[in-house]
Chains A and B, each alone.
Chain A
Amino acid sequence: MNLLLKGGRILDPSRNIDGVMDLLVKNGTIAACGPDLQAPPETQTLDVGGLIVSPGLIDMHVHLREPGQEYKETVATGAAAAVAGGFTAVACMPNTLPVNDTRSITEFILRRAGEAGLARIYPIAAVSLGQEGRQMTEFADLKDAGAVALSDDGKPVMDAALMRRTLEYAESLGLTVIQHCEDLSLSAGGLMHEGYYSTILGMRGIPAIAEDIIANRDILIAEYSGTRIHIAHVSTAGAVRILREAKKRGVRVTAETAPHYFTLTDESLTGYNTAFKVNPPLRTAEDVAAIKEGLADGTLDVIACDHAPHARTDKEVEFEYASNGISGLETSLGLSLKLIEDGVLSWPDLIAKMSLNPARILNLPSASLAPGACADITVIDPNRPWTVDLKAFRSRGKNSPFGGCALPGRAVLTIVGGEIKYNGLASQ
């Protein structure tokens, strides 16, 4: 089956294309992109007038919980959430049970992804065995098995010498290293951002410098070693400033932030609602402003939602005992569209941060609508207001502070390898 998308606004940051055109998909690849294309025989034609046609969106930071915590999420339910949220591909963090620190776990995840047959799943392998921060995993073997990057996410790599060796060894293999920046000695026991609200709520705080210090340290290590490094879920004004300065002097650093860090502040915690409990924690209004500036000026390359699904039992407890995280795949695009409404990002910039940039950082193919490219495509209706209904999430994790939120638009078609994996064109 071939596909002809007629009359959409084609946005392809890989070729700086932004214009109303048709897009023809044949045998799983982009066949043509131009005005007034004719449908060859056996072609499904879809009118996408008024809609955005984008390279398939990629979320480079999700937690799929399988193996080990299937009650929270599985590869299949996570992949279903991904395509419903407009993502044709996601990269999943290794903090499963057991940790993805060996070839067999990486292969297991890829097998599950194949069975689900929805979004592309790119496993990220652990830096250290068991994510214990001591012994390096077999980077080359893991890459060979299909891992696209290395991270101990969920935890930081606290040992500076281990981080140095990891960056050096991974660089020689072309593997990206992703750091979760948190100085554990400064964040110990912390439940939320340290500031006025932690003071009045009587909760132990996580100071912004817990993030800034490790971001700064690892940027210095990457600079010294001449390697790349990617900084996960940036939440502080300090980290944005450190990243901006590092990029200016030519350090090969890239960084991501998540929708909740440009949408919410620590003031949201005044009711002790555990849906707002994330790590890094929600910061101040000044941090939110700095994150938006970092997105606008290119300091922050990527929007990735840190999809962290949890079961009700993980969240319906005292704040102190509740798990960190937001089930984010199905609201990430809608929240990010607000950045366009607010004048923070242009359409091409937003699309680049959600497709081309993560693809480049992880050395993934595609993220392009050029003829010959793999037909991973997301069609977005920017003007389809909807209200977030947590019960309707495909993800097993209904843990989100955005239930009931009005969002401006959403993905209406998610096409992976030329096949429609999600079709919300008709639904309202």
Chain B
Amino acid sequence: MTKLTKKDILGMADLTVDEIHLILETAESFLEISTRDIKKVPTLRGKSIINLFYEASTRTRTSFEIAGKRLSADTINISASTSSVVKGETLIDTARNLEAMNPDIIVLRHSAAGAPHLLAGLVRQSIINAGDGAHEHPSQALLDMMTIREKKGRIAGLKIALVGDIQHSRVARSNIYGLNKMGARVVVAGPATMMPRDIEKMGVEAFTRIEDAIVDADVVMMLRIQLERQKQNLFPSLREYAQRYCLNRTNFKLAKSDAIVMHPGPINRGVEISPDIADDSGFSVILDQVANGVAVRMALLYLLSGGNE
């Protein structure tokens, strides 16, 4: 496979193994550009990309913006509000307006699950889902997979543990789909209150103790906890959460000796990961994830623009 025939990248659920390989290989070939003195190639000159963000996310937005710029595309950022109290323009109206401006790709971040699917059905432009509610975040999963491949040489056969708030995590869902497709063994752990119903049917083993998940793991992926979940009684206190779910020197010993630690960021230090683990470049690959994020997003923009033409 050398071309992506899809119009949109909505989620890892819809990507085939061949498509994932193509995206990862393309991203790997783009990695070198970011190390050059002049970090720019003319590949997407004349193309325009709109980053439509209904949810604040400096990280993801910046990553897509840099990716577009390195390929010489024109990138435009639009921040919108989703307040349903102050009803502004609807997503549909916004989409029709943007369509009239004729961009090539729209990158959408939205707090409502399924918003990119709604948009994709309305406009002829390619849509990249940059995170929709608790549903999917495919570019994050792809950059995670790229990082795992880079560090481990493969994905198939690895034991990969996802730990934290599985219920509200789009990163978890996208990784479960992607990693399963690539032949990894995925286990998840988190408080029972944040473990979604029937998660096992997604092809994972689920635990409520972090230790049970990370034993013999090749990769430990820690998820971000939203502090406001405490108010919904999903966990009693940050203190107790950290005591039970923080990755530290002691429980990390249960993982394979060459295990790597990942986190989609931003980290709540001392809650999800103890600082000495997060900062230890011996096993923490968190900064590699950020670098690979740009390469993966370059690959997605390139392939959706009709790459390899």
Residues of chain A from 81 to 102 with CB closer than 8 A to chain B in the complex: none
| Smallest beta-carbon distance A275→chain B, Å | 13
- Residue in contact with A318 in the complex, picked from B13, B91, B170, B199, CB distance below 8 Å: B91
Of B90, B111, B133, B199, the most chain A CB neighbours within 10 A belong to B133
In the bound complex, how far is the Cα of B133 from the Cα of A391, in angstroms? 33
- Rounded to whole angstroms, the CA-CA distance of A205 and B198 in the bound complex is 12
B168, chain A: closest CB distance, angstroms? 8
Report A343 CB to chain B, min CB distance, Å: 31
Q: A199-B197, A203-B134 are in contact. Are A320 and B113 (CB under 8 A)?
A: yes
Q: Which B residue sits closest to A196, measured CB to CB?
A: B198
Q: Any chain A CB within 8 A of the CB of B196?
A: yes
Complex CA gap A321/B54 in Å reads: 14
The 0/1 profile, CB within 8 Å of A marked 1, for residues 208-249 of chain B is 000000000000000000000000000000000000000000
Does B109 make an interface contact (CB < 8 A)?
no
A196 touching B197, Cβ below 8 Å: yes
- Does A317 contact B135, Cβ atoms closer than 8 Å? no
- Residues of A within 8 Å of B198, CB to CB, are 195-196, 199
Min Cβ gap A116→B in Å is 32
Closest-CB distance, B99 to chain A (whole angstroms): 15
Whole-angstrom distance between the Cβ of A194 and the nearest chain B Cβ: 6
Report whether B133 and A194 are in contact in the complex, using a CB–CB cutoff of 8 Å: no
Q: Which residue of A195, A199, A205, A320 has the most chain B CB atoms within 10 A of its CB atom? A: A199
- B77-110 toward A: CB 8 Å interface, digit per residue (1/0)? 0000000100000111000000000000000001
Please tell me if A41 contacts chain B, counting CB pairs below 8 Å: no
Query: Do B134 and A202 touch across chains, with their CB atoms under 8 A apart?
Result: yes
User: Do the beta carbons of A196 and B201 come within 8 Å of each other?
Assistant: yes
Decide if A365 is an interface residue (CB 8 Å cutoff). no
Query: Contact residue range for chain A?
Result: 20 to 34
The answer to whether B117 and A271 have CB atoms under 8 Å apart is: yes
Q: Does B173 contact A (CB under 8 A)?
A: yes
> Is B202 among interface residues, defined by CB-CB distance under 8 A?
yes
Is A321 in contact with B197, judged by CB distance below 8 angstroms? no
**Cβ–Cβ contact B197 & A317, under 8 A:** no
Contacts known (A317-B90, A319-B113, A320-B112); A198 close to B118, Cβ less than 8 A: no
What B residues does A204 contact at CB under 8 A? 134
A194 to B113, CA, bound (A): 15
Which of B115, B118, B135, B173 is packed against the most chain A CB atoms within 10 Å? B118
Q: Which of A198, A271, A272, A318 contacts B197 (CB 8 A)?
A: A198
A77 to chain B, nearest CB (A): 25
**Distance (whole angstroms) from the CB of A189 to the closest CB of chain B:** 9
CA gap between A305 and B182 in the complex, in Å: 45
Contacting pair A272 B202 (CB below 8 A): no
Contacts A195-B197, A271-B117, A319-B114 given; does A202 touch B136 at CB 8 Å: yes
CB closest residue in chain A, given B91: A318
Binding site for B on A (CB under 8 A): 194-196, 198-205, 271-272, 313, 316-321
A-B contact pairs, 27 of them (CB 8 A): A196-B198, A198-B196, A199-B199, A199-B201, A201-B113, A201-B114, A202-B133, A202-B135, A202-B136, A203-B114, A203-B133, A203-B135, A205-B197, A271-B117, A272-B114, A272-B117, A316-B90, A317-B91, A317-B92, A317-B118, A318-B114, A318-B118, A319-B112, A319-B113, A319-B118, A321-B84, A321-B112
B residues apposed to A, CB below 8 Å: 13, 84, 90-92, 110-115, 117-118, 132-136, 170, 173, 196-199, 201-202
